[in-house]
Amino acid sequence: MPHIDLPEGYPGIRSLFMYSPLTAKPLNDLVQTLLHDPAYSTLTPGERELIATYTSSLNECKYCATTHGAIAKYQLGGNAQIVNEVIANPDTASISDKLKALLHIAAKVRQSGKKVTEQDIQTARDQGATDKEIHDVVLIAAAFSMFNRYVDGLAAWAPDDPAIYDAIGKQRATEGYHTKPFQVTQPQTNQNN
């Protein structure tokens, strides 16, 4: 059960956004820019979603990891295998060496920004990452560590049904984050994470 009285039928952060619309708008604008807007970054929306997925997975945030994994899958042409590979071990995943280096930075940021070293940055640069891409991975990992703690700190509902996450993933990949909240028509009675 959520720690506070949240609207039923809305999973994860969407219930928190409905609970607090004033804070929802800037947070939603941030995630729209960071992950969905094609002009924001030279990293593709799919790559940015993978960074959010991996960070959320390391933070053990079921809702965010599963939701953004589903969005990444749709942003990457329906490729769920690559999402699973990144979650399991980015070093052996079928992704570019640049993205592997950036995910290494993301993993350190989610622990503490001070864990990122000059060598981490140089490795990313050696693999072709630009300063903007390094900036973006740090910001995505930092923002998603906050989002993960927001969702789990209030025990927002994380559904067990993979079809719910798949539907959210398809909607967000297609429409972005400024669409109406995804509602589950039959709220589950067990709203534990």
Residue 107 lies in a domain: yes
Q: Return d(Cα 144, Cα 165) in angstroms, integer.
A: 17
* Whole-number pLDDT of residue 185: 63
Instruction: Provide the sign of the torsion angle of the four alpha carbons 142, 147, 150, 151, taken in this order.
Output: negative
| pLDDT tens digits, one per residue of 141-150 | 999 999 999 9
For residue range 150-166, what is the model confidence (pLDDT) as tens digits?
A: 999 999 999 999 999 99
> Cα–Cα distance between 38 and 15 in angstroms, integer?
27
Where does the pLDDT of residue 193 fall: very low under 50, low under 70, confident under 90, or very high at 90 and above? very low
- As a whole number, mean pLDDT of residues 81-90 equals 98
pTM for the model stands at 0.93
Check whether 188 has a pLDDT greater than 80. no
**pLDDT of 191 over the 70 cut:** no
**What single-letter amino acid sits at 37?**
D
Rounded Cα distance between 36 and 34, Å, is 6
Among candidate residues 188, 161, 131, 165, the one with its CA nearest the CA of residue 53: 165
The total of structural domains in the chain comes to: 1
Q: Please check whether residue 24 lies inside any domain of the structure.
A: yes
At residue 183, the pLDDT reads: 75
Please check whether residue 186 lies inside any domain of the structure: no
**CATH number of the domain to which 147 belongs:** 1.20.1290.10
Residue 179: how many other CB atoms lie within 10 Å:
12
With respect to residue 191, please indicate whether it lies within any of the assigned structural domains.
no
Identify whether 8 is part of a domain.
no
Round to whole Å and give the CA distance between 93 and 30: 28
Identify whether 132 is part of a domain.
Answer: yes
Domain assignment of residue 146, yes or no? yes
Q: Is residue 193 part of a domain?
A: no
Query: Sign of the C-alpha dihedral, residues 145, 146, 149, 151?
Result: negative
- Domain enclosing residue 20, as ranges: 13-36+43-175
Q: Is the pLDDT of residue 64 over 50?
A: yes
